Structure 1
Amino acid sequence: MLTLPPLSLYIHIPWCVQKCPYCDFNSHALKSDIDEQKYIEHLLSDLDSDIARFGITRALHSIFIGGGTPSLFSAPAIKLLLDGVKQRFADNPEIEITLEANPGTVEADKFKGFSDAGVNRLSVGVQSFASDKLIKLGRIHDSEQAIRAAEIANSCGVKSFNLDLMHGLENQTIEHALDDLRQAIALKPKHLSWYQLTIEPNTAFHSKPPKLPQDDTLWAIQEQGFELLAQAGYQQYEVSAFSQSEEFQSKHNINYWQNGDYLGIGCGAHGKITSVDENKIYRTVKVKHPKGYMDTERVHLDHLTQVSEAERPFEYMMNRLRLFKPFSLQDFERSTGLSAAHIHQQLRTAQNKQLLSEQQGQWQTTLLGRRYLNDLLELFI
């Protein structure tokens, strides 16, 4: 039978100053001032609908405000939003509240206000410290602003901050990529997200692809970067996530990867909710475009679907195998409501291919499995 997992909340703020050419998220370039009050009213109405729809009585494990560029909102607006959310759930003094922020000077100056509003973790989207690379990526900040934003994040009162950094950029050499990483490490973030640029459908880069490094260069960047991070005391706990200690791992993202539940509110936000009584798993998708989302009807839900039993093994593995922490068959059963017999054959095949290893009932991706994660996941489709 299914077991009720922790519950997180994702809040989507869809506006950006401009759309980056690599971005496939639901984001929209600003064409006029944002009506913060109106959007927050819709977010809380959206939340109320989900609470009623699923009979939610649990406390929240974490909150993540993503986008878009949430730091375009004022600190008083973020406080209004978080106060409204907290009124609807039981108190959790250990809750992690993350806000994604742009390193532009105007947004960086708001960091102290966000901390005072209740945010205790910032995620700063640096992407690179090389100004020429930032221009190619369509970012609105330069390298000096990126460094300044990290310095402010380190001193504004939040418990932790994350730096988002890409590698494998256009015409990027191994040394240039490692220089970016060294600069990030020097700023002493408690957490680093370091990942390779990928070209996604429906992006400007997909229409006009940049000249990316060859595979052997990409692999060398990754291997040497992992070594550099380890030497600096960062522990890799997920495919692209590194923290100074377990204390500073992203609780919100771990809940995703461990197949936890999450409500998703805001334009195009996705959610996943477990119903133990019904032995069902539901997924929600909200209306994507801001205009449609904020219509007078206040009907925010676009799709409500069930995750079929046939889909559950792949969905479990797609998330869980991103984490380096081992999993047990009992965990699979609690998360999917299925017998472990559903995946015995696939597990043995993966073990024979040296993509998974097993010790005392604990299964884990091998180094080879991490390198060929997509091949591993295909076994569970």
Structure 2
Amino acid sequence: MIKLPPISLYVHIPWCIKKCGYCDFYSYVSKKNIPELEYVKNLLKDLEKDLKLIHKRKISSVFIGGGTPSLLNSESIKNLIKGIKKRTKLSKFSEITIESNPKLIEYKRFRNYKKSGINRFSLGVQTFNSRLLKVIERTYDRKEAIRAIKEIKKINNNFNLDIMYGLPGQSLKNVLSDLKYAVKYNPTHISWYQLTIEPNTSFYVKNLNLPHENIIFKMFNQGEKFLKKSGYIKYEISSYMKLNYTCQHNLNYWNFGDYIGIGCGAHGKITKTNGEIIRTIKNKNINDFINGKYIDIKKLILDQDKPFEYFMNAFRLYKPIYKKHFQERTNISINDIKKNIKKALQKKYIIEKSDSWETTTKGKMFLNSLLKIFLN
């Protein structure tokens, strides 16, 4: 009998007030009223179908992302959380996160979110520089971002701030200023990551004034030192926490756990009792989804692809990767990846112990090159 991994739940809310030029997540701008009631009803029906695949496992965490989930009113979130709890085995201590846009923080609405069961908020600030916020096409300014943080702090102590570096026209001074503002408000978690321009975004075809790679390296080095000095522990490539405040939901991804993905365009990963792993992608057409056509793609992860999929997540973490864990999560023998491991060792991307592997500083710096070694 295969030991099934922990499983979490991702809920996708696809609407936004504006599509940012760097965003490659599935979302679209709402030009009219959002069909909230219909969408939530169908989210729960979508969930019911997927629950048949998970063999009565407890849901370890819930993450409501998007898009902009905070566009939904408090009654919709209340019905969603109530419906999830009714249909699943969800511990009263489970982490339940909602992503929020600083433009949309309303104290009453967010207080009701908390009453509904939300116990962690994630605020997409990106930068406190009003000029740079315009450049990356955000819909608020520095004052609104700070006001949003203050409102969140009134409601809940456990919250994350998303901050980016390497923005067009951004200086090292700008980056350190952003981090100083962020730690001033004492978030329990900071996601600090470099802006990357993906092919399917509007920024990809623009001539952006991105900082030189040498400047970006200085941003990374000095920013990381500042966060460490400020009491934040780095546990993943772009994640920094106060003690005992890891993002449990993301940690499950990085540990190659399972997750149900419900809602338009949501992705899922589910391990079957025979060791097979399937990926699911939900219908991106909102009208089709509301009419009950939830699943778009369901495909099997081939055995030869499992090592890459596993290490693509696990190598991001700042901790040993235990060989036993790899075998449990992939149902693949260590012998099947001996050549790949040998090559990674020769490149000095990893170090090996009798029971584990761990990425070196070089391995973290050249993560894509390391992962290519395991690419089928």
- TM (normalized to structure 1)? 0.96
Q: Contact (CA 8 Å) 2:70, 2:104: kept in 1 or not?
A: no
Partner of 1:266: 263
Q: Contact (CA 8 Å) 1:199, 1:209: kept in 2 or not?
A: no
Partner of 2:21: 21
Bigger drift between 338-347 and 262-271 goes to: 338-347
Distance (whole Å) between structure 2 residues aligned to residue 361 and residue 279 of structure 1 = 22
**1:1-381 alignment, distance < 5 Å:** 2-52=2-52, 54-107=53-106, 110-156=109-155, 158-245=156-243, 247-276=244-273, 278-295=274-291, 298-381=292-375
Distance (whole Å) between structure 2 residues aligned to residue 350 and residue 91 of structure 1 = 40
Q: Contact (CA 8 Å) 1:169, 1:212: kept in 2 or not?
A: yes
Q: CA deviation at 1:205?
A: 0.2
Q: Contact (CA 8 Å) 1:285, 1:304: kept in 2 or not?
A: yes
Residues 86 and 315 of structure 1, relative CA distance in 2, 3 Å threshold:
same
Q: CA deviation at 1:159?
A: 4.9
Distance (whole Å) between structure 1 residues aligned to residue 320 and residue 254 of structure 2 = 12
Percent identity, please.
Answer: 42
Q: Contact (CA 8 Å) 1:199, 1:205: kept in 2 or not?
A: yes
Distance (whole Å) between structure 1 residues aligned to residue 215 and residue 327 of structure 2 = 40
Q: Contact (CA 8 Å) 1:233, 1:244: kept in 2 or not?
A: yes
Bigger drift between 143-152 and 341-350 goes to: 341-350
Residues 267 and 108 of structure 1, relative CA distance in 2, 3 Å threshold:
farther
Distance (whole Å) between structure 2 residues aligned to residue 301 and residue 21 of structure 1 = 28
Q: CA deviation at 1:78?
A: 0.4
Distance (whole Å) between structure 1 residues aligned to residue 141 and residue 22 of structure 2 = 17
Structure 2 spans left out of the alignment, 5+ residues: none
Q: CA deviation at 1:111?
A: 2.1
Distance (whole Å) between structure 2 residues aligned to residue 107 and residue 378 of structure 1 = 45
RMSD (Å), alpha carbons: 1.3
Q: CA deviation at 1:89?
A: 1.3
Q: Contact (CA 8 Å) 1:108, 1:149: kept in 2 or not?
A: no
Structure 1 spans left out of the alignment, 5+ residues: none
Counterpart secondary structure, 2:154:
coil
Residues 106 and 313 of structure 1, relative CA distance in 2, 3 Å threshold:
closer
Q: Contact (CA 8 Å) 2:281, 2:295: kept in 1 or not?
A: yes
Q: Contact (CA 8 Å) 1:270, 1:285: kept in 2 or not?
A: yes
Counterpart secondary structure, 1:61:
strand
Distance (whole Å) between structure 2 residues aligned to residue 216 and residue 55 of structure 1 = 47
Deviation digits for residues 248-297 of structure 1 (CA, Å, limit 9, x no counterpart): 10000000000000000000000000012x221011000012122112xx
- TM (normalized to structure 2)? 0.97
Residues 69 and 305 of structure 1, relative CA distance in 2, 3 Å threshold:
same
Q: Contact (CA 8 Å) 2:99, 2:121: kept in 1 or not?
A: yes
Deviation digits for residues 44-102 of structure 1 (CA, Å, limit 9, x no counterpart): 111111112x1531111000000000000011210100000011112412200000000
Counterpart secondary structure, 1:146:
helix
Matching residue's letter, 1:135:
K
Counterpart secondary structure, 1:310:
helix
Q: CA deviation at 1:362?
A: 2.2
In the alignment of these two chains, the number of paired residues is 375
Matching residue's letter, 2:128:
F
Distance (whole Å) between structure 2 residues aligned to residue 162 and residue 51 of structure 1 = 29
Q: CA deviation at 1:154?
A: 1.8
